[in-house]
């Protein structure tokens, strides 16, 4: 079975109109989840927890889209 990992993270934005974080070192990494439904539930909980702060944003990153297991690895990946 193929894993479709998702990363949930968030932080305070410089301005609510742009997705630019105020301080990348202060990002809140909620976690890595095995499927979208679980990631969505974690995202929703964090978004609701911080609803009073208009500058806080949480995102779901589709980690499984970053790497295509069928594509040949680069020479640096092969170094391990």
pLDDT in tens, 66-80: 866 666 665 554 444
Q: What is the mean pLDDT of the chain?
A: 87
Provide the CATH topology of domain 1-15+38-72: Alpha-Beta Plaits (3.30.70)
DSSP at 52: T
Q: Give me the residue spans of the domains in the chain.
A: 1-15+38-72
Q: Which is nearest to 28 in space by CA: 59, 66, 1?
A: 59
Q: Is the pTM of this model over 0.75?
A: yes
φ, ψ of residue 11 to 5 degrees: the values are: 180, -175
């Amino acid at each position: 079975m193929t894993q479709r990992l998702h990363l949930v993270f968030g932080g305070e934005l410089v301005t609510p109109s742009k997705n630019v974080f105020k301080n990348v070192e202060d990002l809140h990494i909620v976690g890595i989840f095995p499927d979208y439904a679980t990631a969505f539930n974690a995202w929703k909980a964090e978004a609701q927890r911080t609803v009073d702060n208009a500058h806080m944003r949480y995102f779901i990153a589709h980690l499984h889209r970053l790497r295509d297991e069928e594509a040949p690895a680069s020479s640096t990946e092969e170094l391990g």
